[in-house]
Amino acid sequence: MYFQNIIVFGTGYVGLVASACFANMGKSVVCTDNCIEKINALENHQIPIDEPQLPELLENAVKNQQLLFTINPEEYFEQADFFIIAVGTPSLADGSCDTSSVFAVAKQIGEKIVSSKVIIIKSTVPVGTGEQVENIVKAELQKRAIYDIEIFIVSNPEFLKEGSAIDDFLKPERIIIGVQCQEAYLKMKDLYKPLLDQGYQIIPMSIRSAELAKYAANAMLSMRISFMNEMSYLCEKAGANIEEIRLAIGSDMRIGKYFLKAGIGYGGSCFPKDNKALEFLGKKYDVPLSLISATIEANKNQQKIFLNKIIDFFEGGLNEKKISILGVAFKPNTNDTRHSPGLYFANELLKKGAHISLFDPLVTTKENNICLLKQETQNRFEISNSIENCTQNSSAIVLCTEWEEFQNLDFDFLSKNMCQKLFFDGRNQYTKKHAEKYGFTYISVGRP
């Protein structure tokens, strides 16, 4: 018999990683989702995301009876102390954050609980959501004439990065805990005790600050990238080298060396979505967040600038030209293609009449975005099963993701395999000198 003390709502990155990690810390975890297919798949050991260490941790937790998946979590509600909301909060058409799934979970909890609970919001949500969740839960309790139980609302945003999510969770740089009272804080300390015992620190704050902290962190990181991307274009025009600028400014301790790599723009599920939500929040409170708007704009420009380099090169047009895209995951070690620069280039080049062959170590035709593209473009688009097939008789390579597999490409082979020797390096993985040695015309980002 399980002693269920945590219920996790959501089987996306945040929900699955939290479930796996808390279960392996010795907690009993019930993980749920309103999508029955996802739960069925998880019960059959099929994990919807490719994340290092996650399969092993999930497998181990299930085997040790620390974790179970269910579509009907209500039967475990009474035994649970902590309810973790980790459902998706996608963008609405106006850029604002869609919190409807968070509120639906709050209602589900309020409709059933009969004793005091801690409700932890891990989903990225706008300032004030904690209060709204509390109101929803209390309104449901009132409907059932329950007035005497305490509800502790906590904001505990997740800062994990895809590809290193487990390490980010188990070796956190910070654990942000937003609470309204000391009692809730003590309960959270108890939950995180295994990590606190190893010396990891909680930073306690108000719920509103914790909610905003997540957006501020993502905004700061993406702003740095956009800044470097704008600098890279200036470097190209002014004859400087962005890699040298990066070294120069990154060695200043006040600036730091991380998140300064220029490239073809940031992608993924968080930066694009969260920046839009933050921009919206600024409008709501009538506070101009011009840096956020500029960050979003610069990211779009960066992709267009690189695209135009490709289009301009083919003065006679791209009709019938085969272009090889290496990497369609938005970054290495994930199969996530949300807001992926590689997909953007594939789409735009297809519109110009090109044939696209795409290779990525993890992304397959099963992936939704790829499936759609294939349906729309039929025979002008293919997913290759190897770099060799992808580049055969191709007119150009466009390197979009810095996968390890692409770091030691056999240029000698490529020069014989391709019909035109053109290399667009969106991630500055090689040098002009190296590519030219094999007869390639080499175009990268922010370098002379």
User: Is position 221 an interface residue for ligand UDX (rule: CB under 6 A)?
Assistant: yes
> Smallest distance from the beta carbon of 213 to ligand UDX, in angstroms?
11
First-last CA distance in the chain? 66
CB-nearer residue toward ligand UDX: 180 or 369: 369
Residues in contact with ligand UDX, shown as a per-residue x/- string from 323 to 352 under the rule CB under 6 A: -------xx---------------------
User: How many residues of this chain interact with ligand UDX, rule: CB under 6 A?
Assistant: 18
Burial class of residue 221 (count of CB atoms within 10 Å of its CB; 0-12, 13-18, 19+): middle
Calculate helix-pair angle for 13-24, 54-63, nearest 10 degrees.
50
Q: Is 270 a catalytic site residue?
A: yes
Q: Which is nearer to ligand UDX, 268 or 361 (CB)?
A: 268
The reply to whether 246 sits near ligand UDX by the rule CB under 6 A is no
User: Interacting stretch for ligand UDX, rule CB under 6 A, among 1-9, 191-199, 260-268, 417-425?
Assistant: 260-268
Per CB under 6 A, the list member of 22, 152, 159, 403 interacting with ligand UDX is 159
Which residue stretch of 21-29, 40-48, 160-168, 200-208 sits at the interface with ligand UDX (rule: CB under 6 A)? 160-168
Q: Measured from the CB atom, is 350 or 400 closer to ligand UDX? A: 400
Q: Which is nearer to ligand UDX, 8 or 260 (CB)?
A: 260
Asked whether position 170 contacts ligand UDX by CB under 6 A, the answer is: no
Q: Which of 51, 81, 140, 162 binds ligand UDX (CB under 6 A)?
A: 162
Residue 440 binds ligand UDX, judged by CB under 6 A: no
For ligand UDX, the binding residue among 130, 263, 272, 446 (CB under 6 A) is 263
Name which of 4 and 232 has its Cβ closer to ligand UDX: 232
Catalytic residue among 31, 97, 235, 270: 270
Among 107, 161, 380, 434, binds ligand UDX (CB under 6 A): 161
**Listed ranges 76-84, 259-267, 292-300, 375-383: which one lies at the site for ligand UDX (CB under 6 A):** 259-267
Residue 17 Cβ, how far from ligand UDX at the closest point, in Å? 11
Alpha-carbon distance of 428 to 443, in angstroms, equals 9
Q: Is residue 243 near ligand UDX by the rule CB under 6 A?
A: no
Which range touches ligand UDX (CB under 6 A), out of 51-59, 257-265, 309-317, 365-373?
Answer: 257-265
**Which residues are designated catalytic?**
270
Q: Give residues in contact with ligand UDX (CB under 6 A).
A: 159-162, 218, 221, 225, 259-261, 263, 266-268, 270-271, 330-331
